[in-house]
């Protein structure tokens, strides 16, 4: 792999060592120096990785780039400080950006320091296509999150819809990406990712419990005068966290390494 213009190892800071964090650590090339910010130093850190106790230790370690793979709270606590030091952040917990005050603060920090917040495709894809089509003012985007009823058991019970969801699809939410992510922060990262690519006012979100799907499925329809595109992503769950798609860690690593490659 070409790391354009580098003669020292790339230093990657990783926040979180759960399902995504562990996969990210395993996927990064051996030539990368890894520092991991975790709540408690786990026994299975990769050989040579540095355990970092808090955000100050992470910044003092001097990463070239930070991958956040922890939680919306961890993102809100640490990403502004990293970006403020001129360090790019590649984020998994994109749902945190439903908070428009946090998003505005981050954009202001980035324009001041020149750092960049990278929103990778994560569990979905096609962001380049969505962003291109959204340059046309008449383009609209629909995102449907479809999961088996078991993934929404608590919500369906609260709605009195458990029985109905065993027979056919039940709509849990229909509206905009910001509100969807605020309601379901762990489940609607993808909706926010799409809205950040297309623009918040372009995207309609539906959240559906569907007994006909065996796995979490993301459907994106982009339509307008440029044409109609339909994308569907049916992901395998991460073995250690079934709520998380295994592809997400791969997306974070690809987006991180790409920043240092000659070919963009």
Q: Known binder of ligand: residue 81?
A: no
Listing DSSP states for 112-154 in one string gives HH---EE---TT---HHHHHHHTTSTT-EEEEEEEE-GGGGHH
Q: Known binder of ligand: residue 241?
A: no
135 half-sphere exposure, CB direction, 13 A CA radius: 5
Question: Is residue 92 at the binding interface for ligand NAD, with CB under 6 A as the rule?
Answer: yes
Q: Which residue has the tokens 């640490």?
A: 78
Question: Is residue 52 at the binding interface for ligand NAD, with CB under 6 A as the rule?
Answer: no
Q: 10 Å Cβ neighbour count for 7?
A: 5
In the bound complex, what is the minimum distance in angstroms from residue 122's beta carbon to ligand NAD? Answer: 2
Instruction: Please confirm, yes or no, whether 218 is among the known catalytic residues.
Output: yes
- Interacting residue with ligand NAD among 139, 216, 217, 244 (CB under 6 A): 244
- Interacting residue with ligand NAD among 33, 52, 123, 141 (CB under 6 A): 123
Question: Is residue 139 at the binding interface for ligand NAD, with CB under 6 A as the rule?
Answer: no
Residue 138 backbone phi and psi in degrees, to 5? -95, 5
Q: How many residues bind ligand NAD (CB under 6 A)?
A: 28
Q: Beta strands 140-147 and 65-68: pairing type?
A: unpaired
Q: 10 Å Cβ neighbour count for 108?
A: 12
Question: Is residue 38 at the binding interface for ligand NAD, with CB under 6 A as the rule?
Answer: yes
Cα–Cα nearest to 96, from 123, 110, 117 = 117
Convert residues 169-188 into a mask of x (bound to ligand NAD by CB under 6 A) and - (unbound): -----------------x--
Number of H helices, E strands in the chain: 10, 13
Give whole-number Cα distances, 166 to 76, 211, 217, 237, in Å: 37, 6, 17, 21
Nearer to ligand NAD, 37 or 197 (CB): 37
Q: Which of 147, 178, 202, 218 is catalytic?
A: 218
Question: Is residue 189 at the binding interface for ligand NAD, with CB under 6 A as the rule?
Answer: yes
Binding positions are: 123, 189
Residues that bind ligand NAD (CB under 6 A): 15-21, 37-39, 69-72, 74, 92-94, 122-123, 186, 189-190, 193, 241, 244-245, 248
Binding residues for NAD(+): 123, 189
């Amino acid at each position: 792999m070409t790391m354009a213009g580098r003669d020292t190892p790339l230093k990657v800071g990783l926040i979180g060592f759960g399902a995504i964090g562990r996969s990210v650590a395993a996927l990064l090339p051996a030539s990368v120096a890894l520092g991991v910010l975790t709540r408690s130093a786990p026994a299975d850190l990769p050989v040579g990785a540095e355990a970092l106790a808090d955000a100050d230790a992470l910044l003092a370690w001097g990463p070239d780039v930070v991958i956040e793979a922890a939680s919306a709270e961890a993102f809100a606590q640490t990403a502004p400080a990293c970006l403020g030091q001129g360090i790019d952040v590649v984020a998994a917990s994109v749902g945190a950006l439903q908070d428009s005050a946090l998003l505005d603060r981050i954009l202001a920090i980035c324009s001041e320091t020149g750092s960049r917040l990278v929103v990778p495709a994560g569990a979905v894809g096609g962001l380049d296509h969505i962003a291109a089509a959204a340059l046309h003012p008449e383009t609209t985007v629909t995102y449907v999150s479809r999961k088996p009823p078991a993934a929404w058991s608590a919500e369906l019970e609260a709605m009195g819809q458990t029985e109905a969801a065993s027979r056919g699809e039940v709509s849990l939410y229909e509206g905009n990406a910001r509100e969807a992510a605020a309601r379901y922060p762990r489940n609607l990262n993808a909706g926010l990712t799409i809205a950040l690519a297309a623009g918040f006012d372009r995207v309609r979100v539906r959240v559906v419990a569907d007994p006909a799907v065996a796995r979490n499925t993301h459907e994106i329809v982009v339509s307008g005068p440029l044409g109609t595109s339909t994308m569907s992503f049916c992901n395998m769950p991460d073995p250690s966290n079934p709520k998380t798609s295994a592809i997400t860690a791969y997306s974070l690593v690809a987006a991180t390494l790409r920043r240092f490659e000659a070919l963009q």
